[in-house]
């Protein structure tokens, strides 16, 4: 029996490294997509995972869904390593909702077939009871049962994302990995889907890992926020703390990008001085130093430690008292 304090989902020092070949005759080099990630989610939490494209968010989603194995470290569900879980049982407990509902739904299958598929794969019920479950979940996501015979191409982007949500929830999972679930939708539809996800979380006591490059979207739904940069978590904070007292220079730049005319486009380079670095050759010291407005000499030479503070965790020399004391003495 697990303690009630056991996180429902935990990553312990998870690293994922790929080998990448540069050019036809180039040498193979390691690319570290995740570098020592430790995170915990308690039941009913919504952890917003934020960062630019290429920071490792999608690699983390694949590992959590059991689609890839970490190179080192552990992922635990209710305190048990997911490597030891039966794949089908893991799929029952953790379900994904992806960015583009059009490409994630089979265009040749009817809406009924798409939503019923997980029930069939898990041999749950007979045809009649499966149809009832499909009708019930359609109602929950706000779609009429007349769409059961439709195909994805006959539905709008918002309706397709509702179908994708219905498919994810029909098995009554405990954890949902939402990978940019609104970024392919019109702005007017985005807030409807975010509101729906919020309602479903309360109704079904769901725990979300909510991946997004857009802090404004995360603010809407998350209870905690983790900001990723080049495979590392550089700040973790409550959502109030993140938006009221952002500490890390990168999180501050992300917040400023929300105030641009087109926040959905992510972080414009003008906010950070230069483009996102090549993850195969990450900068020395603090990986963020070439783009950081608060950079000092030590940042170029020494990687910052992760500091536990009263408001969360942060990885920056500015918030390391030992480093700051040494700089004052020097």
Contacts with ligand SF4, residue ranges (CB under 6 A): 249, 286, 288-289, 292, 294-295, 299, 304, 316-318
* Residue 101 burial (10 A CB sphere; 0-12, 13-18, 19+): buried
Q: Which is nearer to ligand SF4, 244 or 294 (CB)?
A: 294
Q: Which residue has the tokens 């963020």?
A: 288
Q: How far is the CB of 266 from ligand SF4 (least distance, A)?
A: 19
Q: Which is nearer to ligand SF4, 163 or 298 (CB)?
A: 298
Q: How far is the CB of 253 from ligand SF4 (least distance, A)?
A: 10
Q: How far is the CB of 248 from ligand SF4 (least distance, A)?
A: 6
| Cα–Cα distance for residue pair 206/315, rounded to 1 Å | 29
Q: How far is the CB of 318 from ligand SF4 (least distance, A)?
A: 5
Q: Which is nearer to ligand SF4, 98 or 250 (CB)?
A: 250
- The answer to whether residues 248 and 316 touch, using CB atoms and an 8 Å cutoff, is yes
| Cα–Cα distance for residue pair 329/298, rounded to 1 Å | 14
The angle subtended at Cα 111 by Cα 102 and Cα 150, nearest 5°, is: 90
Of 176, 178, 272, 269, whose CA–CA distance to 217 is shortest?
Answer: 178
Q: How far is the CB of 228 from ligand SF4 (least distance, A)?
A: 13
CB atoms within 10 A of CB 12: 16
Tell me the H-state helices in the chain.
57-64, 87-93, 101-104, 111-121, 127-140, 157-169, 187-204, 215-221, 239-244, 249-258, 297-301, 321-329
Q: How far is the CB of 324 from ligand SF4 (least distance, A)?
A: 11
Q: Which is nearer to ligand SF4, 119 or 286 (CB)?
A: 286
Q: Which is nearer to ligand SF4, 124 or 295 (CB)?
A: 295
| Cα–Cα distance for residue pair 74/57, rounded to 1 Å | 17
Q: How far is the CB of 323 from ligand SF4 (least distance, A)?
A: 9
Contacts of 61 (CB under 8 A, 6+ apart): 96, 177, 179, 209, 211
Distance of CA 214 to the CA centre of its chain: 11
Contacts of 69 (CB under 8 A, 6+ apart): 63, 83
Q: Which is nearer to ligand SF4, 43 or 271 (CB)?
A: 271
Q: Which is nearer to ligand SF4, 171 or 299 (CB)?
A: 299
């Amino acid at each position: 029996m697990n303690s009630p304090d056991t996180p429902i989902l935990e990553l312990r020092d998870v690293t994922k490294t790929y080998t990448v070949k540069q050019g036809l005759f180039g040498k193979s080099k390691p690319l570290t997509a995740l570098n020592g990630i430790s995170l915990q989610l308690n039941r009913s939490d919504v952890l917003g995972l934020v960062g630019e494209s290429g920071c490792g968010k999608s690699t983390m989603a694949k590992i959590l869904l059991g689609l890839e194995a970490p190179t080192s470290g552990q992922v635990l569900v209710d305190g048990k390593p997911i490597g030891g879980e039966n794949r089908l049982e893991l799929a029952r407990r953790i379900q994904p909702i992806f960015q583009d509902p059009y490409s994630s739904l089979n265009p040749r299958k009817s809406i009924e077939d798409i939503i019923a598929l997980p029930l069939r794969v898990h041999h749950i019920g007979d045809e009649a009871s499966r149809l009832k479950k499909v009708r019930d979940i359609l109602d929950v996501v706000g779609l009429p049962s007349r769409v059961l015979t439709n195909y994805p191409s006959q539905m709008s982007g918002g309706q397709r994302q509702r179908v994708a949500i219905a498919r994810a929830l029909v098995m009554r999972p405990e954890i949902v990995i939402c990978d940019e679930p609104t970024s392919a939708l019109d702005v007017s539809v985005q807030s409807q889907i975010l509101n729906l996800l919020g309602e479903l979380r309360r109704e079904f006591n769901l725990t979300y890992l909510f991946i997004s490059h857009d802090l404004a979207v995360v603010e809407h739904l998350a209870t905690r926020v983790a900001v990723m940069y080049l495979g590392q978590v550089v700040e973790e904070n409550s959502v109030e703390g993140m938006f009221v007292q952002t500490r890390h220079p990168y999180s501050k730049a992300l917040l400023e990008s929300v105030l641009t005319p087109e926040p959905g486009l992510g972080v414009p380079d003008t906010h950070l001085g230069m483009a996102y670095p090549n993850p195969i050759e990450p900068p020395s010291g603090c990986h963020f130093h070439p783009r950081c407005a608060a950079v000092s000499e030590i940042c170029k030479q020494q990687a910052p430690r992760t500091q536990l503070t009263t408001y969360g965790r942060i990885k920056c020399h500015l918030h390391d008292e030992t480093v700051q004391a040494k700089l004052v003495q020097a």
